Structure 1
Amino acid sequence: LAGEQTKALVTQLTLFNRVLTELREDIRDQVKEMSLIRNTIMECQVCGECWQGSAPTSEGKEPPCLTPHLPLLSSGFHEQRSRCNPNPCFSGVDCMETYEYPGYRCGPCPPGLEGNGTHCTDIEECAHANPCFPGSKCINTAPGFRCEPCPRGYRGNTVSGVGVDYARASKQVCTDIDECNDGNNGGCDPNSICTNTLGSYKCGPCKSGFVGNQTSGCVPQRSCSTPTSNPCDINGFCLFERNGEISCACNVGWAGNGNVCGPDTDLDGYPDEPLPCIDNNKHCKQDNCRLTPNSGQEDADNDGIGDQCDDDADGDGVKNVEDNCRLFPNKDQQNSDTDSFGDACDNCPNVPNNDQRDTDSNGEGDACDNDIDGDGIPNMLDNCPKVPNPLQTDRDEDGVGDACDSCPEMSNPTQTDMDSDLVGDICDTNEDSDGDGHQDTKDNCAEIPNSSQLDSDNDGLGDDCDNDDDNDGIPDYVAPGPDNCRLIPNPNQKDSDGNGVGDVCEEDFDNDTVVDQLDVCPESAEVTLTDFRAYQTVILDPEGDAQIDPNWVVLNQGMEIVQTMNSDPGLAVG
């Protein structure tokens, strides 16, 4: 009820205010009219004694006027003051005298103005006619209007004028500029797609037959299918890469960069003679051991002869067969312990350790290292002395840390594992439904074989049974996928060059910092390069006193492994 009363009161006050406004205007007009009447009466009083036909005076003259400075008309009236002088109308408006009050009439207001002729105000053409193109500013010029030039991306006329009718009839017209037809493909790469839009344009992917992007440019796509676009050597072969590009590799028995190939007698990836490659590829350099495989081209003494075919690899004057440090110069051949490694190359010079094992790769062999795994916990206190675990987590409190416990959730201090499957007997169910070597209770894909147990998004579900390996919301293979970067989160699926491979995984699909062309497993971040430097030997012959275990030498940063002598059978597992 109070709200309705308030509303009614507001309505009454509004009406009262409107009446007061109208009354104020009426009073103002009446004041003007009274002023005109007063002036008229005064003028009539001045001229009223000079009537035509009045009796002359005794001197025979007409009665004198009270205002002798006003000349008499022939009719007997004094000359009346002109109502249009001074001009009461608006500047530039004609004034016409009339017999009707107030004695004059003003003509129409000038173009671009509105009013009664006495008072004229500017017409807002911009508001009433909206003459300018959307995006172009309309400026009122009093009188008239003016449109600013067409917006960027459009061309057209610049409109200006006076009056609403003109503004409505002469509106500014701006037409879209097709930037893609400017002779420069809109500024996009000449071999890319330019799409015109209203007021602008967009640079798109490379045209068919070209690869690249707007940053690096679009270049002709090389093809393996046609001889004219196949850049590979006649003794090489063409490879179609994931990102749509191609690469070349030499056939077996040949070496080089693929574009140029030469004979490779020892099949180690280096040609017998230097090749004229323009990219300075290392595989175009001459093999420093032409008849002996050495894929790393190691040359300890830098004499141009590879270590594998140099009878004194370290150049210390001691032949390899007699040298206790074959790759480290040590003429004195000092060997403080009883192993086969001289002090110059022994990672435990005072402790015998023929295996030279160095778990944490700190240059100090495990046999003499107080912290074998380099986790900051001394061996005597470390519950996993050979596996880094600075937190020393041990959920089952059996004295063996979870990092190296074969049953981390069940106490088994002896770590008994009769079947050597790395699962302790106490928690070994021997149930492996998919036969991939991983017990069902520990298998991240219990029903799908996945011996690698790869889990790219660490969600506990192996990639082989995970529909979204990178957990970015885009399914790997079904709608709204397939995901153009299956192993790297990219919910926006940005693919600048339109080759089907997302930008974030263009050169490195598994995001392991090793480009796909060098990555031995481009779809697994856990395996990047072949590396046998941390190999484990599996002896395959029956145990006995007369066995000779295999002796392996690892070269080329772990990518080449060589057995140096005849031995019993065995495996090197890297």
Structure 2
Amino acid sequence: IVCVYLIFTGFHGSGPGLVADRIPDCSLSNPCYPGVPCSNYADGVRCGPCPLGLTGNGTHCVDIDECKLVKPCFPGSRCVNTEPGYTCDPCPMGYSGDRVRGLGLERASTHQQVCTDIDECDDGRNGGCVPNSICINTQGSFHCGSCQDGYSGNQTTGCRLLHTCPNGLRNPCHANAFCVVQRNGDISCTCNVGWAGDGYICGPDTDIDSVPDEDNCRFTPNSGQEDVDKNGVGDQCDEDADGDGVTNMQDNCWLIANSMQVNSDEDSFGDACDNCPYLINNDQKDTDDNGAGDACDTDMDGDGIPNILDNCPQIPNPPQTDIDSDGVGDPCDSCPYVSNPSQSDIDSDLVGDIYGHQDTRDNCPNVPNSSQQDSDRDGQGDECDEDDDNDGVPDYVAPGPDNCRLVANPAQQDHDSDGVGDVCEGDFDNDQIVDHIDVCPENAQVTTTDFRAYQTVVLDPEGDAQTDPHWVVLNQGMEIVQTMNSDPGLAVGYIAFNGVDFEGTFHVNTVTDDDYAGFIFGYQDSSSFYVVMWKQTEQAYWQATPFRAVAQPGLQLKAVKSSSGPGERLRNALWNTGDTEDQVKLLWKDQQNKGWNDKTSYRWQLIHRPPVGYIRVKLFEGSEKVADSGIIIDTTMRGGRLGVFCFSQENIIWSNLRYRCNDTIPADFVAYREKRDAQH
């Protein structure tokens, strides 16, 4: 474009005649935009084109926005318009390429920024995935997959050659299973998360309930495979589980056919399934499991002594022993040596309030031992007893160590010289359960995972904004269902643990509501426990007193140490994401800020080692790990009881529950401690 600027002059008199004015040139009056060439012509001056990156007539030029008109930068890279020209930010993470600058539309159109995907899997480190696993490159990123052919394991346990186990012996396990080396050197096999079977044969397990996908509820956990109406569809996914024509949501006996829905006492249970059909008892508690609910059973513990005469009506006590003569029998007395007929236990720690502190009953008051294990029943806990079986052979010091620490064997006979005495070979605690299936092979009181006996702890006992939780225990205590949209509450098992591995499958079996569910560990009382909890969406709690609480989506780990105990302050502190002074400390939150999905199964794995404060939580969806807390160090609670947690969310399933005593310090903690010590 050539712009011509002409200046014409008139004539004026000068003396006796007319003289033409001089035509101006660029040196006298340059009307062009800075940087634009100016040319003289007979009839005036002419301005050249605007500089690159600008547009106009040569006298007036304005910037061209190449970013808006052409978009020269790679998607995901910011385009910055300059005056003149443009600049592209560096390529996004996961891509490589040059940072581009230019002037003008032609340049922007013909020299677009090019960003090439980086193949993280080809970096010599397999992208950071565990060795011998599959690294899958994606545009701008990558993810770690399963083990390569010929290897077994996962991204958590590592990938090992199929033919060897950690002890060097041949690996007999399935490709999707891993070896477990027992204390006597024997090998057992366990299927990986997302697979189910005996470890020697493993099949896909979509709902992670320990039953392969041929189960009667493929997408809903039902580890016990219950099917009341025998129609081939499991109760957990059958809309009419008992086949009586009334859907579960409307059925007052959803597991027993009762099409007429007769309900004489008008509680939550129809007569067909009500263990006290003429007396309201929504808890349906039946201590002696004789079919008659405690509310209408004249001998609820079945010990032959009528309730009205029984000093322990809910715990068998035929001798009616009562050392402190307070009218409460010793087996059920929270303070058996101090008179406390009211049995007050405000903090739900199973120790009467009259004692004041747990230390008064601690069998190792100077050593953390939440399990209170006392194998020889001498009043001194194993953790501080130098001879746990009282056989005269010290546990760990000369002339020990005792080759059967929990079973009396003064002769120390060991015919195969493997370091394990003959009397405890294969069954270390002599509880008649072989070690490889014993969940606590060094505690004769704990043999299998079982939550059939549990304590309900209500965390907001005041008011009636919501009901209390309603728990249903299935599959011999290895599955729990919570049916109500309830106040915050816990179902806590009675077994206390020191070091423990605790895992289970979490599933919200509804598309309504979006609130909290999770599990607890290290429970000591209703004011002291750890909770792993998960909210689906962001939401402010509807009661803003005593303070406003806002829940954010995402998995989180909290240490509860409440100065007030159950009530509105603890309730709002649990709902709120973050720390609340004198109530809750947030130890970790998944930075993905992702809530749980409806009708989706997730598998959690917890490792807790109280002596060193080690905590680690992992979460899987199918066989893929979707969250990992990493190593968390906290000593707020030195062990305790296990259970499940809910808050305002109904239809929660905790399936395929498993716990195992384990005091072994994880290898990653050793590396963590060495690194920490080196830094200090």
Q: TM-score range by the shorter chain?
A: 0.5 to 0.7
- Runs of 5+ in structure 2 lacking a partner? 1-162, 494-680
Q: Deviations over 1:238-279 (max 9, x none)?
A: 11111110111111111121122222111111222xxxxxxx
- Which position in structure 2 is the counterpart of 1:379? 307
* Greater Cα offset, 501-510 or 230-239: 501-510
Q: Does 1:492 align with 2:420?
A: no
Match of 1:535 in 2: 454
Kept after mapping to 2: 8 A contact 1:252/1:267: yes
Q: Is the 8 A contact 2:283 2:470 kept in 1?
A: no
Whichever residue aligns with residue 230 of structure 1, its letter is N
Which position in structure 1 is the counterpart of 2:273? 345
Matched residue type, 1:249: T
SS in 2 for 1:495: coil
Q: Could you say which residue in structure 2 is the equivalent of 1:250?
A: 191
Whether 1:479 and 2:398 are equivalent positions in the alignment is yes
TM-score, scaled relative to structure 1: 0.54
The answer to whether the 8 Å contact 2:195/2:205 transfers is yes
Unaligned ranges ≥5, structure 1: 1-221, 273-285, 431-437
CA distance in 1 between partners of 2:258 and 2:433 (Å):
37
Contact 2:256–2:273 under 8 Å retained in 1: yes
Shift of 1:389: 1.8
The DSSP-based 3-state class of the residue aligned with 2:435 is coil
Asked if 2 retains the 8 angstrom alpha-carbon contact of 1:243 and 1:500, the reply is no
Listed as ranges, the matches of 1:414-453 within 5 Å are 414-417=342-345, 421-428=349-356, 430=357, 438-439=358-359, 441-453=360-372
Query: More helix per residue: 1 or 2?
Result: 1
State the distance in 1 between where 2:411 and 2:169 align: 37
Deviation per CA, 1:414-435, whole angstroms, max 9, x where unpaired? 334565554445443x3xxxxx
2:208 aligns to what SS in structure 1? Answer: coil
Which has more strand, going by share of residues?
A: 2
Alignment of 1:247-286 (within 5 A): 247-272=188-213, 286=214
Number of equivalent positions: 331
Matched, 1:235 2:176: yes
Q: CA deviation at 1:236?
A: 1.3
User: One-letter code of the match for 1:564?
Assistant: T
| Aligned-pair CA distance for 1:484 | 2.4
Return the alpha-carbon distance in structure 2 between the equivalents of residues 561 and 260 of structure 1: 27
Q: Which amino acid aligns with 1:442?
A: R
Please state how far the C-alpha of 1:348 moved relative to its aligned partner: 1.4
2:25 corresponding residue in structure 1: none
- 2:383 aligned residue: 464
Does the CA-based 8 Å contact 2:334-2:343 persist in structure 1? yes
Whole-angstrom distance in 2 between the partners of 1:426 and 1:533: 29
Q: CA–CA distance in 2 between the matches of 1:517 and 1:565?
A: 38
Change (3 A) 1:545 1:511: same
Could you say which residue in structure 2 is the equivalent of 1:364?
Answer: 292
Matched residue, 2:217: 289
The aligned amino acid for 2:178 is F
Rounded Cα–Cα distance in structure 2 between residues aligned with 1:565 and 1:227:
51
Provide the C-alpha distance between the structure 2 equivalents of 1:355 and 1:320, rounded to a whole number of angstroms. Answer: 19
d(CA) in 2 for partners of 1:311, 1:240: 43
Letter in 1 for 2:469: P
Structure-2 residue corresponding to 1:554: 473
Secondary structure of 1:380's counterpart equals helix
In 1, Cα distance between equivalents of 2:330 and 2:444 = 23
**Structure 1 residues 497 and 426 mapped into 2: Cα distance closer, same or farther (>3 Å)?**
same
Distance 2:286 2:236 in 1: 24
User: Matches of 1:223 and 1:479 in 2, distance apart?
Assistant: 37
- Tell me which residue corresponds to 2:438: 519
CA separation in 2, counterparts of 1:313 and 1:339?
Answer: 21
SS in 2 for 1:361: coil
1:390 aligns with 2:331: no
Cα-to-partner distance string for 1:89-139 (whole Å, 9 max, x where unaligned): xxxxxxxxxxxxxxxxxxxxxxxxxxxxxxxxxxxxxxxxxxxxxxxxxxx
| Alignment match, 2:428 | 509
Measure, in 2, the Cα distance between the counterparts of 1:489 and 1:566. 51
Deviation, 1:223, is 5.2
In the alignment, the residues of structure 2 paired with residue 555 and residue 403 of structure 1 have an alpha-carbon distance, to the nearest angstrom, of: 27
Could you say if the C-alpha distance between residues 541 and 410 of structure 1 is closer, same or farther in structure 2, counting changes exceeding 3 Å?
closer
Instruction: Please tell me the residue identity of whatever aligns with 1:504.
Output: V
Alpha-carbon distance in structure 2 between the residues aligned to 1:505 and 1:425:
40
Contact kept, 8 Å, 2:389 with 2:407, in 1: the verdict is yes
Q: Cα–Cα, structure 1 residues 511 and 226, in superposed 2: closer, same or farther, change >3 Å?
A: closer
Within the candidate set 306, 312, 329, 2:240 is matched to: 312
1:513-551 Cα distance to aligned partner (Å, 9 max, x none): 333233222221222222222222212236212123222
The answer to whether structure 1 residue 322 and structure 2 residue 263 are counterparts is no
Partner of 1:12: none
Q: Secondary structure at the match of 1:517?
A: helix
Secondary structure at the aligned position of 2:308 is classed as coil
Q: Which amino acid counterpart does residue 391 of structure 1 have in structure 2?
A: P
Contact 1:454/1:524, CA 8 A, preserved across alignment:
yes
Tell me the distance in 2 between the aligned counterparts of 1:233 and 1:254.
Answer: 10
* Higher RCO, 1 vs 2 (CA within 8 Å, ≥6 residues apart): 2
Partner residue, 1:402: 330
Once the 2 structures are TM-superposed, how far is the Cα of residue 227 of structure 1 from its aligned partner?
8.1
One-letter code of the match for 1:451? S
Deviations 1:475-506 (A, max 9, x none): 22223332222222233333344433333333
In 2, Cα distance between the equivalents of 1:372 and 1:226? 52
Q: Distance in 2 between matches of 1:539 and 1:413?
A: 23
Q: Work out whether residues 241 and 254 of structure 2, in 8 Å CA contact, stay in contact via their aligned partners in 1.
A: yes
Report if the CA contact (8 A) 1:529-1:559 is conserved.
no
2:456 is paired with a residue whose SS is strand
Distance of 1:298 and 1:496 partners within structure 2: 46
Q: State the shift of 1:334 in Å.
A: 2.9
Amino acid aligned to 2:489: G
Q: Is the 8 A contact 1:248 1:258 kept in 2?
A: yes
Asked if structure 2 preserves the Cα contact closer than 8 Å seen for 1:223 and 1:246, the reply is no
Percent identity between the two aligned chains = 73
TM-score by length of 2: 0.46
Check whether the contact 1:244–1:499 (CA below 8 A) recurs between aligned residues: no
1:401–1:292 CA distance, 2 compared to 1 (3 A): same
Q: Which moved more, 1:478-487 or 1:370-379?
A: 478-487
User: Over aligned residue pairs, what C-alpha RMSD do you find?
Assistant: 2.4
CA distance in 2 between partners of 1:226 and 1:418 (Å): 50
SS of aligned partner of 1:485: coil
CA deviation after TM superposition for structure 1 residue 444, in Å = 1.3
1:552–1:563 CA contact under 8 A, matched in 2: yes
Describe the shift of the 1:227–1:382 C-alpha distance in structure 2 as closer, same or farther (beyond 3 A): closer
AA at the equivalent of 2:448: L
How has the CA–CA distance of structure 1 residues 317 and 515 changed in structure 2, closer, same or farther, with 3 Å as cutoff? Answer: farther
Structure with larger Rg: 1
Q: Using the TM superposition, give the Cα deviation of residue 324 of structure 1 relative to its aligned residue in structure 2, in angstroms.
A: 2.3
Counterpart residue type for residue 255 of structure 1: A
Instruction: Report the CA distance between 1:299 and its aligned residue.
Output: 1.7
